[in-house]
Copies of this chain bind each other. A is one copy, B any other.
Amino acid sequence: MGSKERIQRIKEETRSNILDAALQIVREDGWQALSMRKIADKIEYTAPIIYEYFANKEGILFELTRIGHQLLLQDVRSAKAAQTEPDLQLEAIWMAYWNFAFSQTQLYQLMYGVDMVCCEQKKALPEAIASAKIINDTISELMVKPTPDMICRKYYTFWSIIHGLISINLLNKGTGDEMNQHILKDAIHGIINTIND
């Protein structure tokens, strides 16, 4: 009778289990180790079951990308809220990106990896847009005469150097050591100081 909701509930649970299992496999053995059959093994089903919850493997990756952007958005919001001055807010936000990349490396790789799929959709992800908006707003607050074009340019400059530093550190299997964190802070201050040029 009233088991409609119960069924719905365990279905959502299974869907969540699939995502959890996928992430667990990737954390243990990297993206190249992820397969539908391994996910199925982990949730104690067989592979075809997964296709009742996701259209295909890319669908799972897309959902994980979304989860990643959700988590990052939370961190960005907290970072901004923890500071009052725009310059400190901006620094805190980029440090949040940095920390996210090394604490959630696999999600970061998926979200910003070069060859990873789901490129088109990413742009449209509301969580990603929300994070970008927070950053743009903070940059705007720092400018004496902000124009959309200048804000965008500064945003790209910031994002490039952070993403670049992170990439190099991830490539070198580093965990974001002190020297590079130093470089990051230097670069952030450099851009902030010349933000009105």
Contact = CB atoms under 8 A, between A and B. Distances in A.
Given A160-B161, A190-B194, A194-B190, A167 B119 contact: no
Contacts of A157: 161, 183, 186-187
A167 B164 contact: yes
Majority SS at the chain A contact face: helix
Interface string A175-197: 00001101100110011001000
Contacts of A31: 115
B160 A179 contact: no
Interface stretch (A9-17, A78-86, A106-114): A106-114
A32 interface: yes
A45 interface: no
Contacts of A30: 115
Given A160-B165, A165-B164, A183-B160, A171 B112 contact: yes
Interface of A: 30-32, 109, 112-116, 119, 123, 153, 156-157, 159-165, 167-168, 170-173, 179-180, 182-183, 186-187, 190-191, 194
Given A109-B115, A112-B167, 8 more contacts: A31-B115, A112-B171, A114-B171, A156-B183, A160-B165, A163-B167, A164-B164, A190-B194
